[in-house]
Amino acid sequence: MVTENPFFSPSSLPFQLPPFAEIRDDHYEPAFERGMAEQIAEVQAILVAPEPATFANTIEALERSGRILKRVSAVFFGLSSSDKTPFIAELEERIAPRLSAHGDRIRLDSDLYERIRAVSERVAAGEEQLDAEAVYLVDRYLTSYTLSGAGLGDADKATLREVNQRLSTLTTRFDTDLLDDTNALAVHVADVSELDGLGADAIATAAANATSRGLEGYLITLVLPTGHPYLASLTNRALRERIMTASQSRAARDNDADNRPVVLEIARLRASRAELLGFRSHAAAVTAAQTAGTPEAVDALLRRLAAPAAANARAEAAVLQEQIDATETDSTLASWDWAFYTEKVRAARFDVDTSAMRPYFDAERVLRDGVFFAATSLYGIRFEERFDLAAYNGEARVFEVTEDDGTPIGLYLLDLYTRDSKHGGAWMNSFVSQSRLLGTPRVVTNNLNVPRPAPGTPTLLTLDEVTTLFHEFGHALHGLFATVTYPRFAGTSVFRDFVEFPSQVNEMWMLWPEVLANYAKHFDTGEPMPQEMVDRLIASRAFNEGFRTSEYLAAALLDQAWHGLSSAEAEAVTDVAEFERAALERVGLADRAVPTRYSSTYFSHVFAGGYDAGYYSYIWSEVLDADTVRWFEENGGMTRANGDRFRRHVLGIGGSRDPLEAYREFRGRDADIAPLLERRGLTES
Ligand SMILES: [Zn+2]
């Protein structure tokens, strides 16, 4: 018997969880085919309707369209990030340009554009009575169709289509190259003595990595950012240098996985597309539909921070050099030394040894007694693991989330461990996005890249990994609390320079006294983390912020530099490394000891991940975050009343309203930048 393709109808599993156990490789392509055909038919039906365009027969009908495509895309692209098999990689290269062409066919349809404009005019003239979410939806549709080029003439549209398809191929290529070269550049170590400074579990992980590739000895796999976490503890300077050099050379090595030509072509195509749409640069086109509005507003914020950050980093470097001079001779601080000596100075000045904290960060306790506990305290929600429901990979876990009174909310999937098939970094995505119109519930996922401990030993997280888990869970809450009518506004479907705000706010609970006391217990003895350790950690937090802010700002400004190019300017760039150096020098962030968090050839966020001309978003939303943290602090901290207010005004509305207007209602005023500057120890002089 031939079973029906599981993507053709909604899943019958709880919360419409995709039936992963039934999904086979050969289901994807037919589902993409049928999904695209179905949506084209739905759009045709909208266009041939004899009645004049109304909200219901045009905008709402568009929101209802493409359900098979949504289902298959959510699963396929979720797996492309979390568990990319050679099959998925191959199909993605083929299907991505076709999906892009499909999207263009709809977004560039002149008749559809005319109908959307007609609806917008009817609404403006008061001929349709719609609720606020629907009115906002009409506005968003008109903006996005205009920005996508629906108003262009036929020849320009044809060019646009070609550019979009080529870009789609290139961005996929970028990530595939990066994954290949990251795997190829894993650092091989023959003798365990070279790993001095690493904990037993990290050494066991490195040994297992080597074995899994049929190698003797140890293998250190690279992480997405330039700075590898092991650089903080490895005492062998030559090995630190090897790791740093490998990280920085990714996808820039004159081999099959060289991303330099890819970067140049992406920058040129994006610039020429922007010009076609009537913008000076890609950054100008992107920010036109963000809360920031213009690249100038973005640059103003970044530059306001760059000078004090660089000055602080220089002061930190002087302190680190003193530390080096006191222990070694003839050694000048290099990028691979920064984290190592920072830890030494941190230990000396604040007596904080972050590796001594790890025994207090047992992953299971951090999750249940930290992350979940804070969410329960703030929002009254509860979590129960559903062993009866299967995720896409045996390593991912499934939790059901309910309100205080038992009302179901959705499913939360957690995929903690690193795999060769997993994209680097950490993220949240949705398998099912909430919408009242479609009657869809919520299934959200968090992915991290925690190294798997040796069998029989607990997973002990680093301080950074604990932060990441709280952060990603903030995105998950945004998806889980979504209560919107239209799918376009579901959960995290907000402006990109707003989307990091809820996740950043959620990080505040990690060191909140009641939360920390509840989860930070020794994995073996159950003893709470000593209070003086906590106090010292908090006291040390502004330390090294010059470095952290600088490496981030360097990446953000690099993104602005690539995407701020006009078409002619982009054509003139031929050398990626040279362009980078010049861009960083211009803003005073070209310090070789403080490398940019991502160099262009492995800056996946902006060349493949949808953060193009948008990496600034993190600091843009951190302004809101720091201001919100202050609000919680001034209003009684972790209470249900505060949580509910934040949920009502921010988390629950998804993208269904103007975000800054909603923020104003939540806060009683616009966000203030002072809390951010204070948090990062950046005082403007
Ligand atoms: Zn995030």
Distance 468 CA to ligand 1 centre (A): 8
Crossing angle (nearest 10°) for helices 260-276 and 545-563: 60
pLDDT higher than 90, residue 483: yes
CA distance 366 to 685: 40
Distance 464 CA to ligand 1 centre (A): 13
Distance 96 CA to ligand 1 centre (A): 24
- Report pLDDT for 684: 58
Residue among 240, 233, 92, 113 nearest 176 (CA): 92
Across the range 263-291, mean pLDDT stands at: 95
- Report pLDDT for 632: 98
Query: Could you tell me where the beta strands, DSSP code E, fall in 98-209?
Result: 187-189
- Report pLDDT for 670: 87
- Contacts of residues 146-155 at CB distance under 8 Å and 24 or more positions apart, as own/partner, are 146/113, 147/277, 147/285, 147/288, 147/289, 148/104, 148/107, 148/108, 149/107, 149/108, 149/276, 149/277, 150/107, 150/108, 150/109, 150/110, 150/112, 150/113, 151/110, 151/113, 152/108, 152/276, 152/277
| Cα-based angle 473, 608, 501 (whole degrees, multiple of 5) | 30
Distance 502 CA to ligand 1 centre (A): 9
Distance 427 CA to ligand 1 centre (A): 6
The 3 state secondary structure assigned to 187-256 is EEECCHHHHCCCCHHHHHHHHHHHHHCCCCCEEECCCCCCCCHHHHCCCCHHHHHHHHHHHHCCCCCCCC
Percent of the chain with pLDDT over 90: 83
pLDDT higher than 50, residue 1: no
Distance 571 CA to ligand 1 centre (A): 33
Residue among 203, 255, 247 nearest 336 (CA): 247
pLDDT higher than 50, residue 534: yes
- Report pLDDT for 538: 85
Do residues 218 and 206 lie in contact, with contact meaning Cβ atoms separated by under 8 Å? yes
Distance 449 CA to ligand 1 centre (A): 14
CA distances from 613 to 288, 290, 307, 569 (A): 11, 11, 21, 16
Displacement of CA 39 from its chain's centroid (Å): 28
- Report pLDDT for 6: 97
75-100: pLDDT as tens digits = 999 999 999 999 999 999 899 989 98
| 12: exposed, middle or buried (Cβ count in 10 Å: 0-12, 13-18, 19+) | exposed
Strands 408-417 vs 427-432: parallel, antiparallel or unpaired: unpaired
CA distances from 640 to 377, 385, 644, 646 (A): 6, 23, 6, 10
The pair of structure tokens assigned to 124 is 């403006």
pLDDT higher than 90, residue 527: yes
Do residues 225 and 204 lie in contact, with contact meaning Cβ atoms separated by under 8 Å? no
Distance 472 CA to ligand 1 centre (A): 6
Distance 475 CA to ligand 1 centre (A): 7
- Report pLDDT for 377: 98
Q: How many Cβ atoms sit within 10 Å of the Cβ of residue 225?
A: 18
Distance 330 CA to ligand 1 centre (A): 41
Distance 609 CA to ligand 1 centre (A): 12
Residue among 106, 162, 129 nearest 55 (CA): 129
Distance 173 CA to ligand 1 centre (A): 23
Is the Cα dihedral 177, 179, 183, 185 positive or negative?
Answer: positive
Distance 605 CA to ligand 1 centre (A): 11
Do residues 408 and 15 lie in contact, with contact meaning Cβ atoms separated by under 8 Å? yes
Q: Which residue has the tokens 């072509």?
A: 265
Instruction: Return mean pLDDT, the chain.
Output: 94
Rounded to a whole number of angstroms, the distance between the first and last alpha carbons of the chain is: 75
Distance 566 CA to ligand 1 centre (A): 29
The pair of structure tokens assigned to 660 is 């800054």
Distance 256 CA to ligand 1 centre (A): 31
Distance 8 CA to ligand 1 centre (A): 32
Across the range 275-285, mean pLDDT stands at: 95
Across the range 568-574, mean pLDDT stands at: 98
587-636: pLDDT as tens digits = 999 999 999 999 999 999 999 988 999 999 999 999 999 999 999 999 99
Distance 500 CA to ligand 1 centre (A): 5
Residue among 268, 266, 198 nearest 229 (CA): 198
| 519: exposed, middle or buried (Cβ count in 10 Å: 0-12, 13-18, 19+) | buried
The 3 state secondary structure assigned to 413-450 is EEEEECCCCCCCCCEEEEEECCECCCCECCEEEEEEEE
Give the list of residues 6+ apart from residue 494 with CB closer than 8 angstroms, or none. 478, 654, 655, 659
Residue 151 binned pLDDT confidence (cut-offs 50, 70, 90): confident
Residue 412 host element (H or E):
strand 408-417
- Strand partners of residue 428: 446
- pTM for the complete prediction? 0.83
Residue 2 binned pLDDT confidence (cut-offs 50, 70, 90): low
Residue 537 binned pLDDT confidence (cut-offs 50, 70, 90): confident
Do residues 515 and 509 lie in contact, with contact meaning Cβ atoms separated by under 8 Å? yes
390-419: pLDDT as tens digits = 999 999 999 999 999 999 999 999 999 999
CA distance 287 to 268: 18
323-344: pLDDT as tens digits = 999 887 678 999 999 999 998 8
Do residues 567 and 271 lie in contact, with contact meaning Cβ atoms separated by under 8 Å? yes
Is the Cα dihedral 493, 494, 500, 504 positive or negative?
Answer: negative
Q: How many Cβ atoms sit within 10 Å of the Cβ of residue 642?
A: 16
- Report pLDDT for 420: 87
- Compute the half-sphere exposure of residue 124: CA atoms within 13 Å on the CB side of its CA: 9
Q: What amino acid positions are annotated as catalytic residues?
A: 472
CA distance 158 to 554: 36
